[in-house]
Structure 1
Amino acid sequence: MSSNSTLNIIESDQFEDVVFDKEDALLIQANFYKGAPPQWVNFHLSEKDNLPFVKRHGYEDVRALIEKSNTNRRIVSMVNLFHKPGSGGSTLAMQVLWDLRKEFRCAKLKDAMTERNAIVKDVMKLTEQKTGQKRRKPVLLLLDNVDVHRDNLAKHLKRRLIDELNYNRCTVPVIILNCVRKTTLAEENRGNTVTLHANLQVHNGMEERKNFQEHQRDITNHYKELQPETLHGLNIITGDFDQEYIADTCKAIVPPKIKHRPRIDQLFAILTLISKFAPGSYLLLDQCIEFLRLSPSDRALPFDQQMGKFSKFVVRYRCFEKGVEYVCIAHPHIATKCVAIFTDYEVRMSAVTSLFLEYFCTEAESHHLMQMAKTMLTMRETDAKSEEKNKFPKLIQHIIDKEGHHMSTALLSMACGVFRERPIFPQALARCYYLTVNKREPIKDGDYKKAEYFAREAIRRHPDNSFIMNTLGQVHKHHLIHFVRGQTYTHSDVLRLGRLALDAFQEEEKAAEMEETDEKVRDETANIAPTFNSWGKLAYLQVALQIFESLVKINSDWRDILTCSKEISKSLDLQLNRKNRRLIRNLQGDVQKRFDFFEKYLTYSQGDPGREDPAYIRECANRCFRNYVGATPKALNMTFEDAGKAGTADPEEDGITTMADLQEFLERHSSKQSPEFYHLGLLQTIGDPELCDIVLKMEKAYENMYEKYFRTRHLVPLYMKSTSGWQTLSELSLKPWEVEKGAQNEPNAVEEGAMPDQRDVCERLGKLERIQGAVERPKVFAFLNNNKIAVQLYNKEMFCKDGPISFYLGFTIRGPVAFNARKISALMRQTSIASEASYGSS
């Protein structure tokens, strides 16, 4: 297999020159059907034996989306495959790449922890034309469960690839197949996402279960040496994940009720633990043999014989490319059932995890073992309904429910000692301490002390990382909330705890300001964060709100003090220390600054197109501002959900709807050399020669003031060029994606469920003025009022070849943006070229 530093590349003639011994081929295929993870060699051997794998119900959908992405004018496309553990999602994804290897340059990312810049560099190499190749093939990159290890790696990688391909004027499209393991799935496929449920289905007139049964018979007939009852991977899926089969299969693993269990029982428990709580994990065979050698019995026996009654549940397999042997549980469903049986027989998962940490992770820190421990002990899944992360990882929640929170903290404390330099473990331990405090009972000495200690330990291990620093502030915030909720308190108690929290969040904010994105970093010691951390600012407002409400509850005169309406001495007879006086004096101004930040943050940008930011951010900012400053100014955020309803709802709830609203908003935030200042100049200017200069200064001001805050967020259009001049999208009753799509539905669109009235959307689009321009990669230009100005593409993943185009023109806080870019027909080409020549270069 051809490979480079970050990718496994699949060649069109993969394995054609490799001669396989019959016994080796049998063992490779037997291990796969037992439950070993798929390897490229499995697909080759199945084809060679004329026993191709059954295509699951998501196969055709994934392949169709990939092939459509290759023709839809997108420079980088993403196809998501969501699947439950054990449903065959990784096999399906690899099967698609294998079948398309002659049409695409196919590759799979080796390691989820690889830096994005290195991955981008290697993907760019794939876009180059190979010697003897007639044309450059599109690139198909498989990311197999990378987002389990790194949040949003796929999304950030896509952004970097778009920028790199445009910068290099590359015309080769890149399609990312993002295969993501999820325990809870949506009910149906949407847009560019295919969902693979575990249960077999009937699709396209074909019954999956029947296909698997026929395949099972063919495998048994062809590989007569195999024992059918050991092929758990094949049997479980063929039986449609029948729980009775799994229960009958697992009867043999009932553990003895003794204090010191044999090494084989301990090893099997460890293997089931990592399979259940870190799906896809494995141990090296050498590690397992070394663990069993700690027991004096049966040292001379082969590994499979040593495992005894557990051997039929354990798969020992060799990685074909690396030549290394691994051990794993045959199937995640078997692991889940085994964990349930262990729990029923009083085998504690905390004890099993301790064994794993003690015997497999202590001698030398292995990246793979550390990642396994990190997944089990620190990674929290996102709830499918609320889209919020769960409080704890599944293993920690299991231990809290079955054994008590003291066992979870003891386990995390052990992990802190094993992985001495990793900040994520003391951070998780601090969270476990402060989140498991019983808020219904009075605070006891030490309830929050240990949480504070480990939060500070996490910071010591990774100083200046704002996301790590957030935990210390959260400890003090929860301490304050608990304190004022359950007992009588004084103003000094509130101010002391509140000041600790506010100071911690201010330190977090300072660190966030210093962090850079990795694409800008040249110094290896720099602190990198792909997204700007705004959580410290929000938490500051939450604490300030709690301080206000708690103090006013003691005495209503505190309202006048905190809003600076009265001097402290004239309102309450208080003895305050210097720190508390400074805190009270600064609170109103500090709240104002953070409110201003979120007002602009939520007006100018959003996390993803069509997806609103959490409502509690706006609610907290509004409440805090009203308490400390007064009535909130109009429009905290620009929304498009109610576009077209201007004038029909409560004006206080409308936000920015008209150009007058927008100009009022811009004036409120305008200062000399700010983007708002230049937007106002653009909207008010009459002289055409000033346009280019205004746009250049606007973009420069954006880079200086806002770029680091909005670096991974999507900038929203504030106003558009219409036939009546500048208008907001609310005035036009349009949404950004409607402008971009031009009333056409595409597979990557946000609202796939919505089927808009095509005629109605077209009529509203008719109010926009279509601007002529040109593509000169990597730049796009607009010809406007005898000026040639550089513009951004709203949909950067759309591929545009050099030449004349037309589009709708809008403005984000950064500057001009082109929507719905389309090539100009050949009849108009000469006119466009003449127009461009008359405008000159910018």
Structure 2
Amino acid sequence: MERKPVVRLKHKPGSGGTTLAMQLLWDLRKSFRCAVLVDPTLESSLIVSAVFKLYTAGESHNYRTVLLLVQGGNVNTLQKSFVAELSERKIDSVKPVVVILNCVRITHINAGHPAGVKLSDTLTDNERKEFDDKKEWLNRQYTEENGIIPTEFHGFNIMQSNFSKDYVKRACDVFNTTDCRPSVPNRGLEFTACLCLLNSYVPGSVMLESHCEKFLSTFEETMIPFRHLTVSFNPNGSGGRPVLRMAHPMIAEQGTQSLHDAGWERSKIAIILLKKLCTEEHTLFLSTFMKALLIHRQKTKKFSRLILDIKNGNGKQSCLSVLHEAVKKGPQIGSYPQTLSRFYYQETEDFLNARKWAERAKQIAPDNSFFADTLGQVYKHFLYRKVCELESNPNTLTEVLDLATKAFEAFEHGEILAGKEQENRDGLSQQSEIFNYRPKIAYLQVANKLFEYKGVIESVAKRTNQYPKYENLKSPLSNQIQERARFINMLLSYSQESFEEEDPDYVLKAARTCYKDYTDDALPEGLGEGPTEDQLRFLHENWQNDTQEPRLNLKNKVEVLKSSFNETHEKYFRSRFLLPLLYLETSDGTKVRVDGVVRCYKVYTSVGDEEIELYVDPAKRLALWKPGTVTFELRFTIRGPTAYDIQFPD
């Protein structure tokens, strides 16, 4: 198997990509110990500990590589935790300890998307033959007489039929033959609708079967028409309790659509799910799935896929009804009122309600920088609307100045909390690894808006005798802006979001524009000035020339640079990919290959008579499970000399 630490599995919704990944785990169960990480927000230490237990399985001579399926989440942080644990345990194995399959659910696959393993929804000729042979065997092995019907092996049949939509529609024909009108009481249909909705938007989600039985007093009888569309099993981590899900995500999606066509709007089903199935004793079990359903969103989207579908199909008021019900069911989950606040100010421009729910989120988690930022965003967006009215309605100036003041204060508070989150990160979840720079950039955006309307504000302020108030707001801005703009410029010049994601274009533009407007100067691009940058240039210029006497002692200078980075910059860059700023290359620009050695997941190279440890991106370190000689490209990031494109001789 190719030695790669991360394989990104991409698939189209409805193509059964997650099921294919599950099938992969099942097929490889004899070669690997396989596991699925259902909740990627768990503490890294808990995940790593569980994986190592699985790797050893209590046997000192039968270690086996763990194949870990992660459905989203901060894999970069998880990899760092694995590397730290491997180093601490001094594991020197002839095989990898863990291979991470990062399965990302996206709505489409761009042709120019970075390389990865893309799961196809079409079988190869060999796969088709194997599935056909297996189907013949199943038909011989099982019959209706022994109570097992192969035609109801929907997960298998969907793959065998090349993920045929026609097969899925036939399998879900019960929704067309049963009276599915919402006005006709049918608790079995209600429950199936909830399970379809949950499984179509959160693949892999399950409900406890005991939970279902309490909802349906006669579970088996009530569910007879729909039971063949579900599967029950005992997963790890359920405490031996059986759970229930739809037989396949495509069936869940078709069921949801068929029910929608029959009058079961997604918002109606979501509210039934929240009101009737998220009972007090089951809320904790369903909490992760419900947050994925209502809160989690793809990077470029404003809200979760379900909320966006409800908005497009039923309107904004239906979204608000669902989110209000979620707040009732999860009164101590701050992300529910936060999402409600964001919907109010982004979709309805109801800033009073937006502020109310942002403040509720802050009350639940007063030390959360993201909730503090949301309150600031409410003031910022309200300011954007009011400042546009200023020329035609001078009376709004007081409100404009008050909103700007409150926005600045909220974002300053968010910055303080973001700093504390980084200082107190130990023992927190993976998400705490991310440095929240949103309050800093939002502060600059407010300043940009004030500068854009500077002429109008000053004119109205003079006419209404409010110029002193405006001056009190404006006078400290220049110094405040310089620090924040320099920070954003430094952060985005030296790094990018991990795993090929990109920072929004407006972030760096806003920082540089604001700095230029308030200082009449331009921020430097690329490698700036400062002690760290000077040390980095010195290392780059002298790396290949350290043969003269007296020696330059580059090893010590690398350690000094590393120490300086850890003290001043590391907490901001922890979750980000450091960009190479300088390269070791010949005069014609050809990259130089450097010899080195791998020992215990670390890479070393010799400069003169000194051996120097080089930094390796955590995304690559898990590939260094085998000790031996290597070659690599040497590049210099703000952290110091770094090994890239590491290759073993074989």
Q: Normalized against structure 1, the TM-score is what? A: 0.67
Structure 2 counterpart of 1:158, one-letter code: Q
Answering whether residue 320 of structure 2 is matched by residue 412 of structure 1, we say no
Residue equivalent to 2:441? 538
| Corresponding residue pairs, total | 630
Shift of 1:319: 5.0
Residue equivalent to 1:458? 361
Answering whether residue 218 of structure 2 is matched by residue 309 of structure 1, we say no
User: CA 1:85–1:179 in structure 2 vs 1: closer, same or farther (change >3 Å)?
Assistant: farther
Shift of 1:269: 2.2
Q: Distance in 1 between matches of 2:280 and 2:322?
A: 18
Q: Distance in 2 between matches of 1:396 and 1:110?
A: 22
Structure 2 counterpart of 1:366, one-letter code: T
Q: Distance in 1 between matches of 2:56 and 2:234?
A: 33
User: CA 1:392–1:97 in structure 2 vs 1: closer, same or farther (change >3 Å)?
Assistant: closer
Answering whether residue 399 of structure 2 is matched by residue 493 of structure 1, we say yes
Write the mapping of 1:610-759 to structure 2, written as runs, cut at 5 A.
613-635=503-525, 638=526, 662=527, 665-666=528-529, 670=530, 674-679=531-536, 688-689=551-552, 691-722=554-585, 733=589
Structure 1 counterpart of 2:263, one-letter code: E
Q: Distance in 2 between matches of 1:628 and 1:536?
A: 19
Residue equivalent to 1:268? 192
1:647-688 Cα offsets, whole Å, 9 max, x none, are xxxxxxxxxxxxxxx5xx32xxx2xxx423544666799963
User: CA 1:101–1:276 in structure 2 vs 1: closer, same or farther (change >3 Å)?
Assistant: closer
Answering whether residue 300 of structure 2 is matched by residue 375 of structure 1, we say no
1:419-457 Cα offsets, whole Å, 9 max, x none, are 12111111111111112126xxxxxxxx21111111111
Q: Describe the SS at the equivalent of 2:571.
A: coil
Larger Cα-atom Rg: 1
Structure 1 counterpart of 2:570, one-letter code: E
Residue equivalent to 1:354? 271
Structure 2 counterpart of 1:370, one-letter code: S
Shift of 1:634: 4.0
User: CA 1:706–1:268 in structure 2 vs 1: closer, same or farther (change >3 Å)?
Assistant: same
User: CA 1:493–1:791 in structure 2 vs 1: closer, same or farther (change >3 Å)?
Assistant: same
Q: Distance in 1 between matches of 2:430 and 2:416?
A: 12
Q: Distance in 1 between matches of 2:378 and 2:447?
A: 15
Residue equivalent to 1:792? 615
Q: Normalized against structure 2, the TM-score is what? A: 0.85
Could you tell me which of 285, 305, 310 is aligned with 2:209? 285
Q: 8 Å contact 1:434–1:448 — kept in the other structure? A: yes
Residue equivalent to 1:160? 81
What percentage of aligned pairs have identical amino acids?
Answer: 30
1:81-115 Cα offsets, whole Å, 9 max, x none, are 23345544445434444444454454444654432
Write the mapping of 1:250-649 to structure 2, written as runs, cut at 5 A.
250-256=175-181, 258=183, 261-293=185-217, 299=218, 303-317=219-233, 323-364=240-281, 366-382=283-299, 388=300, 390-437=301-348, 447-485=350-388, 488-490=392-394, 491-516=397-422, 521=426, 529-553=432-456, 572=462, 575-576=465-466, 580-608=470-498, 613-635=503-525, 638=526
Residue equivalent to 1:61? none
User: CA 1:489–1:679 in structure 2 vs 1: closer, same or farther (change >3 Å)?
Assistant: farther
User: CA 1:605–1:310 in structure 2 vs 1: closer, same or farther (change >3 Å)?
Assistant: closer
Residue equivalent to 1:839? none
Shift of 1:532: 0.8
Residue equivalent to 2:637? 812
Structure 2 counterpart of 1:252, one-letter code: T
Answering whether residue 126 of structure 2 is matched by residue 206 of structure 1, we say yes
Q: Distance in 2 between matches of 1:131 and 1:315?
A: 33
Q: 8 Å contact 1:278–1:372 — kept in the other structure? A: yes
User: CA 1:721–1:230 in structure 2 vs 1: closer, same or farther (change >3 Å)?
Assistant: closer
Q: 8 Å contact 1:771–1:784 — kept in the other structure? A: no
1:333-360 Cα offsets, whole Å, 9 max, x none, are 3333333333333333333222222222
Answer with 427-436 or 597-606: which moved more. 597-606
**Structure with more helix by fraction:** 2
Q: 8 Å contact 1:109–1:141 — kept in the other structure? A: no
Shift of 1:393: 1.5
Could you tell me which of 52, 66, 69 is aligned with 1:140? 66
Q: 8 Å contact 1:494–1:547 — kept in the other structure? A: no
Q: Distance in 2 between matches of 1:449 and 1:676?
A: 47
Q: Describe the SS at the equivalent of 2:281.
A: coil
Q: 8 Å contact 2:540–2:636 — kept in the other structure? A: no
Residue equivalent to 1:184? 107
Q: Distance in 2 between matches of 1:129 and 1:352?
A: 42
Q: Describe the SS at the equivalent of 2:516.
A: helix
Q: Describe the SS at the equivalent of 1:178.
A: strand
Q: 8 Å contact 1:474–1:501 — kept in the other structure? A: yes
Cα RMSD after superposing both structures = 3.7
Q: 8 Å contact 2:271–2:325 — kept in the other structure? A: yes
Shift of 1:529: 0.9
Q: Distance in 2 between matches of 1:544 and 1:125?
A: 52
Q: 8 Å contact 1:466–1:512 — kept in the other structure? A: yes
Residue equivalent to 2:2? 68
Q: Describe the SS at the equivalent of 2:243.
A: strand
Q: Distance in 1 between matches of 2:6 and 2:80?
A: 11
Q: Describe the SS at the equivalent of 2:348.
A: coil
Q: Distance in 1 between matches of 2:154 and 2:639?
A: 56
Could you tell me which of 40, 47, 50 is aligned with 1:119? 47
Q: Distance in 2 between matches of 1:229 and 1:99?
A: 22
Q: 8 Å contact 2:597–2:628 — kept in the other structure? A: yes
Residue equivalent to 1:230? 152
Shift of 1:511: 0.6
Q: Distance in 2 between matches of 1:433 and 1:123?
A: 42
Q: Describe the SS at the equivalent of 1:256.
A: coil
Q: 8 Å contact 1:399–1:407 — kept in the other structure? A: yes
Q: Describe the SS at the equivalent of 1:118.
A: helix
Gaps of 5+ in 2: 543-547
Structure 2 counterpart of 1:704, one-letter code: E
1:191-246 Cα offsets, whole Å, 9 max, x none, are 77322243x34x3x4363x5544433321221013345534334444444444444
Gaps of 5+ in 1: 1-66, 294-298, 383-387, 439-446, 559-567, 639-661, 725-731, 734-763, 826-842
1:740-788 Cα offsets, whole Å, 9 max, x none, are xxxxxxxxxxxxxxxxxxxxxxxx13xx4x6666666566555435655
Q: Distance in 2 between matches of 1:282 and 1:819?
A: 42
Q: Describe the SS at the equivalent of 2:107.
A: coil
Q: Distance in 2 between matches of 1:432 and 1:452?
A: 11
Q: Distance in 2 between matches of 1:396 and 1:428?
A: 10
User: CA 1:81–1:257 in structure 2 vs 1: closer, same or farther (change >3 Å)?
Assistant: closer
User: CA 1:89–1:823 in structure 2 vs 1: closer, same or farther (change >3 Å)?
Assistant: closer
Q: Describe the SS at the equivalent of 1:436.
A: helix
Shift of 1:512: 0.7
User: CA 1:463–1:527 in structure 2 vs 1: closer, same or farther (change >3 Å)?
Assistant: farther
Q: 8 Å contact 2:498–2:575 — kept in the other structure? A: no
Residue equivalent to 2:92? 171
1:18-57 Cα offsets, whole Å, 9 max, x none, are xxxxxxxxxxxxxxxxxxxxxxxxxxxxxxxxxxxxxxxx
